[in-house]
Amino acid sequence: YDDRDGWIWWDGRMVPWRDAKLHVLSHGLHYASAVFEGERAYAGHIFKLRAHTERLINSGRLLGFEIPWTADQIDAACKETLARNGLTDAYVRPIAWRGPEEMGVAAKATKIHMAIAVWEWGAYFGVEQRMKGVKLALAEWRRPDPRTAPTASKAAGLYMIGTLAKHAAMDQGCDDALMLDWKGDVAESTGANIFFAIEGELHTPTPVCFLDGITRRTVMALARRRQIKVVERTIAPEEMRRASEVFLAGTAAEVTPVRQIGDLTFTPGQITETLMKDYDALVRMTPEEVEKRAA
């Protein structure tokens, strides 16, 4: 991803894409003191931009640092980066990290840096997979206890087990992994939240040790608008066989049907199709229309 044309916002300046390099002694690289966001722009508007910006600021606070930009400045910088790259439908990746001003576990003297990159990113699992439904492998890695890691932060370090779990799933011919939590209950995939349709209701794990995703909350509101009952609760893996439909929800993955988890198979049906369509329509509305719908 380093060798392409374009502009990256970096600490308040626009830097040519190929020149956006940082020092190898950056604290974020050695000790994972970095937090990021994943946003999508549709038809020129970044969907739920303020919610992403607020989560970014909060993710930093959970790692003990303050991003030196206000929410308004970050929103404006995201929009400016999108426009400068001439994109209307794209993925937006802001990241903030501790710099190379101090080496060692202690990092109080480091400066907080921020960059924003945007690029075109079509269907997360590819168009064909998305329509057919994806195959998930049960991961050996578990989401940590919230007393073990700052699990409500979109912190780079938490993706270490995600990459391990995803690679193991791909080696088994699957698209992604389903991770359980430290107690053995269903948690999420490596980059999206999970939903189960059980007897006409929508069930999803309570986000005790993973992100309460912005897409997750959006999908829950869309389901309620359709008079579908939504239940947040602890879900044991044995219960997954009761589900008639399963789908993932995340900014990158959007609403993606799941066809298989381990040796269980599912058929995407009416609930998934309805919510895919409703989500696709909502993200293409203007921010004002989205706001009005939520009110």
Q: Which of 196, 210, 266, 279 forms a contact with ligand PMP (CB under 6 A)?
A: 210
Distance set, CA 209 to CA 39, 91, 188, 231, 251 (Å): 21, 25, 10, 17, 19
Q: With respect to ligand PMP, which residue has the nearer C-beta, 54 or 101?
A: 54
Write down the least CB distance from residue 195 to ligand PMP, Å: 12
Angle value at C-alpha 126, between 121 and 129, nearest 5 degrees: 155
Nearest CA to 83 among 28, 41, 144, 34?
A: 41
Pair type for strands 176-180 and 186-189: antiparallel
Residue 16: what residue type?
A: P
Q: With respect to ligand PMP, which residue has the nearer C-beta, 181 or 188?
A: 188
Cα torsion angle, 87, 88, 89, 94, sign: positive
Write down the least CB distance from residue 230 to ligand PMP, Å: 15
Q: With respect to ligand PMP, which residue has the nearer C-beta, 75 or 102?
A: 75
Write down the least CB distance from residue 289 to ligand PMP, Å: 20
Q: Which of 215, 240, 243, 258 forms a contact with ligand PMP (CB under 6 A)?
A: 215
Point out the catalytic residue in the list 154, 183, 229, 277: 154
Site size toward ligand PMP, by CB under 6 A: 14
Tokens of 43: 């038809």
Residue 21 appears among annotated catalytic residues: no
Residue with nearest beta carbon to ligand PMP: 213
Of residues 56-115, which lie at the interface with ligand PMP (CB under 6 A)?
Answer: none
Q: Which residues contact 194 (CB under 8 A, 6 or more apart)?
A: 178, 186, 187, 188, 204, 205, 246, 247, 248, 249, 258
Q: How far apart are CA 27 and CA 38, in angstroms?
A: 22
Q: Are 29 and 100 in contact (CB under 8 A)?
A: no
Of residues 141-200, which lie at the interface with ligand PMP (CB under 6 A)?
Answer: 154, 188, 191-193
Q: With respect to ligand PMP, which residue has the nearer C-beta, 107 or 158?
A: 158
Residue 84: what residue type?
A: R
Asked if 251 is part of the footprint of ligand PMP (rule: CB under 6 A), the reply reads yes
Instruction: Report the 3 state secondary structure along 12-61.
Output: CEEEEHHHCCCCCCCHHHHHCCEEECCEEEECCEECCHHHHHHHHHHHHH
Q: With respect to ligand PMP, which residue has the nearer C-beta, 99 or 213?
A: 213
Q: Which of 133, 205, 250, 257 forms a contact with ligand PMP (CB under 6 A)?
A: 250
Of residues 24-63, which lie at the interface with ligand PMP (CB under 6 A)?
Answer: 38
Residues of the shown chain interacting with ligand PMP in the complex, contacts defined by CB under 6 A:
38, 154, 188, 191-193, 210-211, 213-216, 250-251
The catalytic residues are 154
